[in-house]
Amino acid sequence: MTAGGVVQITGLREVQAALAQLEPAPLKKVLQKASSAGAKAIKPYVRAETPKGKTGRMRKSISATQAKRDRPAAIVKFRPKIAYYRHMVIGGTKPHRIRFPDQKEADVPKSQGNIRHPGAKGNDVMGRAWSNGKTVTIAAVNKVIREYLEGSR
């Protein structure tokens, strides 16, 4: 499970009209480049909002990649093999009990665990990153689109 958000970017009517007149193949390439530029632009904001933790693994795991499906699109995500606990940080956890390894071997029920963990609140990393880096991200997307439109005239 990857936590993220959907961002729709709308521009000037003239830009939209010019894009509508393009053929689908070049349009798709331009929109893919634009979305990749937007993902790269927001990545530092996501890194800044991510909690440091003891090892900084979650910050190191942030990547900006092209989407495999539903393209043109780009994704900023936490890589699961590096930060396997990302879903607990982003979504939070319920209060629970923690058993020691010897209790697991002795089949002590989870409800009888020794440590009572109070749970944790969710951390809206992506929401804060978007609110802080929205203008930079939109500017990066618009820049790619404008450069293409100026070059195609």
Question: What is the structure's pLDDT at 72?
Answer: 87
Domain regions of the chain by residue span: 22-147
Which residues in the chain show pLDDT less than 70? 1-16, 19-20, 22-25, 110, 113, 152-153
pLDDT tens, position by position, 31-51 = 899 999 999 999 999 999 999
H runs (alpha helix) in the chain: 13-20, 24-49, 57-60, 86-91, 101-105, 125-151
Question: What is the structure's pLDDT at 1?
Answer: 46
Q: What is the pTM of this model?
A: 0.74
Question: What is the structure's pLDDT at 57?
Answer: 92
Residue keyed to tokens 């693994």: 57
Q: Rounded to a whole number, what is the largest CA-CA distance in the chain?
A: 75
Instruction: Give the DSSP H/E element, type plus range, for residue 41.
Output: helix 24-49
- What is the Cα Rg of the chain in Å? 21
Question: What is the structure's pLDDT at 24?
Answer: 67
Distance CA 18, CA 151 (A): 12
Question: What is the structure's pLDDT at 153?
Answer: 57
Task: Enumerate residues 6+ apart whose C-beta is below 8 A from 27.
Answer: 19
Supply the DSSP symbol for 106.
T
